[in-house]
Amino acid sequence: MTALPGAGDRPGRAIVLMLAAVALFVVMDGLIKWLSVTFPTLQVMFFRSLFALIPIAVVVAYQGGAGRLRTRRPGLHALRCLAGLASMLCFFHAFRTMPLADVIAIGFAAPLFVTALSVPLLGEKVGIRRWSAVVVGFVGVLVMVRPGSDVLEVGAGVALLGTVAYSLAMIFMRDLGRTDTTTAITLYFTVSCVLVAGAALPFVWVAPAGPVEWALLSALGLLGGVAQLLMTQAFRLAPVAVIAPFDYTAMLWGATLGYAVWGEVPDAWVWLGAAIVAASGLYIVHRETRLRLPRPNIGTRSTGRR
């Protein structure tokens, strides 16, 4: 989502905005995990997307209205929406079945998949240094999920599938970003989620028990929408290489929230794997920044993922 206009290179303010955005996203993830025990995934998706339209509408109005939403590439938007929907379904399911910090850590692998997939899908050139970082990052993923262990059996495979789907959505967004506004990209995806999940509501609907559950369901989209605004504004105020590292504070927030609410403690393998993946992802960001590759003006935690 395109944020409200900002000016200048202001890294201090950008870092504060990024930290706030990441914290809000993790709180939203925690709400998804909490509500998924009571409500079906599609119902949670519906409320997550419906109330996210409120901050999006504010941005559209502020930026001049429907003129910012024009597109000549509806087919590519459709592919982006399909990939985003698949990613959201997988991540929401993973939040319900796995420790919060474990899902967040696996999601860190998205930049690795984006780098690898950009070669066949976008024709981008990836040098030996970034390929090496991708390989090392995938080793980190294997450390976290440990094929054959109990970790994989309780949902890490679903989280990995969601990460791949999210990476595809990012690839499509990178291509769309050459011609369309990020406001349009976000709006069309969010509306598609509302329509798809809304069509399923008559078959899966579970009535909220009272005003508290209604409020929590409504808060999902508002938290995500505000967090996206803060994150995008952060990327407007400072270079990607300065801001991107702070996205990895999500692991600390996720571990803290998971322990406080559910008594979850990520094991040493998850922390080690997350560190390897984060280091690989940061190196890829560093190389792409130096090579000045085109990158869409979006945060790493776009609504295509959560």
DSSP 233-244: HHHHHS-HHHHG
Which portions of the chain are predicted below pLDDT 70? 1-9, 147-154, 291-306
Q: Say what the pLDDT of residue 225 is.
A: 86
Amino acid at 106: I
Q: Would 192 be classed as within a structural domain?
A: yes
Give dist(CA 18, CA 248) in Å, integer: 10
Structural domains in the chain (count): 1
pLDDT for 234 equals 84
Within-domain flag for 147: yes
Which pLDDT score is estimated for 218?
A: 93
DSSP-derived 3-state class of residue 70: coil
Residue 300 lies in a domain: no
pLDDT at position 118:
87
Please give the residue range of the domain that contains residue 43.
11-291
Looking at residue 148, its pLDDT comes to 59
Q: 1 lies in a domain?
A: no
Q: Quick one: pLDDT at residue 50?
A: 94
Distance between CA 301 and CA 28 in Å, rounded?
12
DSSP, collapsed to helix, strand or coil, labels residue 177 as coil
pLDDT for the residue numbered 5: 42
Letter string b/e over residues 205-229, b meaning 16 or more CB atoms within 10 A of that residue's CB: eeebeeeeeeebbbbbbbbbbbbbb
